Amino acid sequence: MPKRMDKDSLFKAVPQTPVTKAEITKKAAQDLAHAETEARRIKTEKLKKARLEQEVSRLAEAGSKPKGK
């Protein structure tokens, strides 16, 4: 026997999670903060690498200079 056809069986409401403007703003702010944090981390790593390379070259230069009397 087929199911009965009425408004409840044909048009079932799909439950949706309500998204408020506050939630949208919070998500956008969090995404922005995460992006800034990642950019700062990358910049810090780049600067640290450059500083270490500069120190290595300075030590190599100091080691290759002849000591004069």
Integer Cα distance of 15 and 27 in angstroms:
21
Q: What ranges do the domains of the chain cover?
A: 25-61
Q: What is the DSSP letter of 6?
A: S
The average pLDDT across 35-60 equals 96
Residue owning tokens 């403007």? 21
5-27 residue pLDDT tens: 777 777 777 666 778 999 999 99
pLDDT for res 68: 59
Distances (CA, A) of 67 to 54, 56, 58, 63: 22, 19, 16, 9
Share of the chain above pLDDT 70, in %: 83
pLDDT for res 19: 84
